[in-house]
A and B are shown apart, each in its own frame.
Chain A
Amino acid sequence: MKRLATAFCCALVMMLAIPAAHSQTLAAVKNRGELVCGANGTLAGFGLPDPQGNWTGFDVDFCRAIATAIFNNAGKVKFVPLTAKDRFTALQSGEIDVLSRNTSWTLSRDTSLGLDFAAITFFDGQGFMVRKSLKVSSALELNDAAVCVQQGTTSELNLADYFRTNHMGLKTVTFATGEEALKAYESGRCDAYTTDSSGLYGERLKLAQPNEHIVLPEIISKEPLSPVVRHGDNQWTDIVRWTHFIMVDAEELGVFKANVDEKLKSDNPEIRRLLGVEGQYGEALGLTNDWAYRIVKLVGNYGEVFERNVGQGSPLKIVRGLNALWTKGGLQYAPPVR
């Protein structure tokens, strides 16, 4: 019922209220005194409140980085948990300032929703999880399988495509939330559970017997996960995009949470520009010149955020893979600060 209410409220808001117009998001956030960030809420490693109610995760830290750039305080964020189904409506209607919720960038979403995708923070792909007892070693053996999936995701569409392309029969069982889909999979309603492979590792940990389930090797799609903002507010899009870029640049330049104060004295012009010792780059964005320094100091660089939430420092143990820096054979590459 809550979802129903949200959808209706959003529709109502779109009809009656006037959402923040162009280039006003930054001003609105500053006036409000906090950033409102749409996050997952149920996905370990990406967005999940801990027992004390503190939000943690890769996508969550991205919002904290934006808040740090604006307020020099990583705590000035209000997180709104959203289902895959409601996320775009919440952003369109102005309920949230930025959507940082493992959302894949696709052409139709970019063009028809009135939204913009800022930067690819995580290169992902869709995979399958099955019970070990099924003795399946490849997704191509899943002919006629029942698959549980979350509604309103690219996974739902890729799933139908993949089975059709490989001439396999499929029974899709669709649920409004990932939790319901996972629960149904666990209770035996489906043979397989599908979502982005990063998500599979997180969801597997939630099962009663994680070791009785395996993630199949096939990656059936490209899922470039990106934070999303409303179309038309270019200043705000720039801030969100460059928040990701400077975190990648910081990692590439060897600037970490621990050594950032020391690096302020560095002679390297690239580091000096990044940390705002030279140039007026922060002010050009409508922020202060030390914005990148604040982010690295309080949140960390890209690699630190990755390892802490989903990498070796976390229970998920996802390897960097495609998300390694371009200098290390991955795809994470950021334009220079100059």
Chain B
Amino acid sequence: MTDEAQGFEIEAPAPLRRRQLRRLLDRRGLAIQIALLIVIAGLGYGAVFNAVQNLARAHVASGFGFWNNTAGFDISQTLIYYSASTSSFGRAFWVGLLNTLLVAAISIVLATVLGFAIGIARLSRNYLLARLAGVYVELVRNVPLLLQLLFWYNAVLKSLPELRDSLVLPGGSLLNSRGLFLPRPEFAPGFLAVVIALAAGVVAAIAWRALARRRRERSGVELPVFWPALALVCGLPLAAFVLAGLPLSFSFPVMGRFNVRGGLEILPEFAALTAALSLYTAAFIAEVVRAGVLSVSAGQSEAAHALGLRPAATLRLIVVPQAMRVIVPPLTSQYLNLIKNSTLAVAIGYPDLFQVFTGTVLNITGQAVEVVAITMAVYLTISLVTSFLMNLYARSTAVVER
């Protein structure tokens, strides 16, 4: 994979770029570059040509015609409509892709929050807290992810009660070895007002923050930001919710003979995969964060203290902004690893893209080349998009040289 995909793209210093360009335009260099390009293109063409010929000779079906054929198999978790009898292999692909994105997105958020907390805890002056964080990092970082995944899956499964002895949690939720069943919110049409109020609240909070900032820069008077913002973001939707006549009801899970009916189902496979991915990646992120914070020289904090900034303000205004520049590139790498590691879902039967598409669909259609190529392209795209977004963020926090 290229450096860019790994998220290590660091702006090359200008002289180096110019030197590369000069070497490219130099005649001998140009010839070498062209020759290399031809060799690579030739190899690529040879591989494709050879594959097509061999497939034809072996009478293996090829092409993408299978995409619209009926799938005929069931999937345990579907975020969009899917039916074994009518949906196509293409639909199964989207179901798998969404499941991958769901588990990756949730795990990235959890891993980031946990990773930052542990990374900071490791630098804490509280001896016990720092040691505990250290033990966590060393323990989790040094045990293979697959092993942790199986541990979580079997630990989650084995310790939960059977269906008949389901734990009834407060609020009408059920917990058993088949998963966690939450009441499913059913939105009445009036709920749209709440969503609009929430959006308005967020916009108003941002505007308030900008206003407070301008006031502070002009007059030095600090206006409170946090509490008013919270009031706007939470209060407005709440008011709208009451005014619209409480447009929300819940469908509660009910015990059937074999399974729980109704409600919102969280599969144990999903829970185990999310737990393993986020806990594992959090250990790496903690180290990245620790390195980032340590990279900010102590002189910066001392100077801030000398200027009279309180410790919290020092951390927020001086240390974190500088540490982020060091943290973001390796953090991107961790995110990409997490996304790719989500393919371990096959081991525990979570229907992610790899399990559904490269597993069942490949096997039914037998078209390994097409299916593997599509899967590779999809993971590459997800990784490149993630990398691109992180690079955008890195650029926005980069030092502006004057």
Interface: A21 (CB within 8 A): yes
Q: Is the CB of B60 within 8 A of A113?
A: yes
Q: Is the CB of B73 within 8 A of A10?
A: no
Query: Nearest Cβ distance between residue A277 and chain B, in whole angstroms?
Result: 39
Main secondary structure of the interface of B (DSSP, over half): helix
With A4-B343, A10-B368, A189-B178 given, is the CB distance from A144 to B256 under 8 Å? yes
Chain A residues numbered 12-29 whose CB sits less than 8 Å from any CB in chain B: 14-16, 18-19, 21
Interface: B396 (CB within 8 A): no
Interface: B131 (CB within 8 A): no
Chain B contacts for A145, CB-based, 8 A = 258-259
Interface: B58 (CB within 8 A): yes
Query: Nearest Cβ distance between residue B367 and chain A, in whole angstroms?
Result: 8
Interface: A214 (CB within 8 A): no
Q: Which of these, A111, A160, A175, A188, contacts B162 with CB under 8 Å? A: A188
Chain B contacts for A230, CB-based, 8 A = 58
Q: Is the CB of B355 within 8 A of A112?
A: no
Q: Is the CB of A151 within 8 A of B355?
A: yes
Q: Is the CB of A175 within 8 A of B349?
A: yes
Q: Which of these, A109, A157, A164, A187, contacts B157 with CB under 8 Å? A: A187
With A191-B258, A231-B58 given, is the CB distance from A160 to B85 under 8 Å? yes
Q: Is the CB of B360 within 8 A of A174?
A: yes
Question: 1/0 per residue A136-175: CB within 8 Å of B?
Answer: 0000001111100001100011011100100001111111
Chain A contacts for B58, CB-based, 8 A = 19, 92, 114, 230-232
Whole-angstrom distance between the alpha carbons of A111 and B261 in the complex? 41
Whole-angstrom distance between the alpha carbons of A160 and B54 in the complex? 34
Chain B contacts for A191, CB-based, 8 A = 258-259
* Interface bin, chain B: 35 or more
Chain A contacts for B177, CB-based, 8 A = 187-189
Question: 1/0 per residue B350-382: CB within 8 Å of A?
Answer: 010011001110111111110011000000000
Output the nearest chain B residue to A192 by Cβ-Cβ distance: B258
Q: Which of these, A19, A157, A171, A184, contacts B72 with CB under 8 Å? A: A157
Question: 1/0 per residue A80-114: CB within 8 Å of B?
Answer: 00001100110010000000000000001101111
Query: Nearest Cβ distance between residue B330 and chain A, in whole angstroms?
Result: 23
Q: Is the CB of A152 within 8 A of B363?
A: yes
Query: Nearest Cβ distance between residue B85 and chain A, in whole angstroms?
Result: 5
Whole-angstrom distance between the alpha carbons of A159 and B76 in the complex? 13
Q: Is the CB of A88 within 8 A of B363?
A: yes
Question: 1/0 per residue A106-137: CB within 8 Å of B?
Answer: 00110111100000000000000000000000
Q: Which of these, A14, A112, A173, contacts B365 with CB under 8 Å? A: A112
Q: Which of these, A142, A170, A184, contacts B74 with CB under 8 Å? A: A170
Chain B residues numbered 27-60 whose CB sits less than 8 Å from any CB in chain A: 47-48, 50-51, 54-55, 57-60
Question: Which of B47, B268, B360 has its CB near the most chain A CB atoms (within 10 A)?
Answer: B360
Question: 1/0 per residue B98-140: CB within 8 Å of A?
Answer: 0000000000000000000000000000000000000000000
Question: 1/0 per residue B141-163: CB within 8 Å of A?
Answer: 00000100000001001100011
Interface: B188 (CB within 8 A): no
Whole-angstrom distance between the alpha carbons of A146 and B163 in the complex? 11
Whole-angstrom distance between the alpha carbons of A142 and B258 in the complex? 8
* Interface bin, chain A: 35 or more
Q: Is the CB of B349 within 8 A of A180?
A: yes
Output the nearest chain B residue to A3 by Cβ-Cβ distance: B346
Whole-angstrom distance between the alpha carbons of A109 and B162 in the complex? 39
Output the nearest chain A residue to B345 by Cβ-Cβ distance: A176
Query: Nearest Cβ distance between residue A192 and chain B, in whole angstroms?
Result: 9
Interface: B257 (CB within 8 A): yes
Q: Is the CB of B368 within 8 A of A85?
A: no
Whole-angstrom distance between the alpha carbons of A144 and B257 in the complex? 8
With A92-B60, A164-B84 given, is the CB distance from A8 to B362 under 8 Å? no
With A92-B58, A188-B177 given, is the CB distance from A15 to B258 under 8 Å? no
Interface: B269 (CB within 8 A): yes
Interface: A331 (CB within 8 A): no
Q: Which of these, A16, A156, A187, contacts B73 with CB under 8 Å? A: A156
Interface: A1 (CB within 8 A): yes
Q: Is the CB of A89 within 8 A of B368?
A: yes
Query: Nearest Cβ distance between residue B359 and chain A, in whole angstroms?
Result: 5
With A14-B369, A157-B72 given, is the CB distance from A85 to B157 under 8 Å? no
A-side interface residues toward B, CB under 8 Å? Answer: 1, 3-4, 7-8, 10-11, 14-16, 18-19, 21, 84-85, 88-89, 92, 108-109, 111-114, 142-146, 151-152, 156-157, 159-161, 164, 169-176, 180-181, 184, 187-189, 191, 230-232
- Minimum-distance CB pairs A-B, first 10: A152-B363, A114-B60, A172-B74, A160-B84, A112-B61, A113-B366, A114-B58, A114-B59, A145-B258, A15-B51
Given A108-B364, A189-B177, 19 additional A-B pairs, CB 8 A? A11-B369, A11-B373, A15-B369, A16-B50, A109-B366, A111-B61, A112-B365, A113-B366, A114-B59, A157-B72, A160-B73, A160-B85, A170-B74, A171-B178, A180-B348, A184-B349, A188-B162, A188-B163, A232-B59
19 pairs, A vs B, C-beta closer than 8 Å:
A8-B372, A16-B47, A19-B54, A89-B368, A92-B60, A112-B367, A114-B366, A143-B257, A145-B258, A156-B74, A159-B74, A160-B84, A171-B76, A172-B76, A176-B349, A176-B355, A184-B157, A189-B157, A231-B58
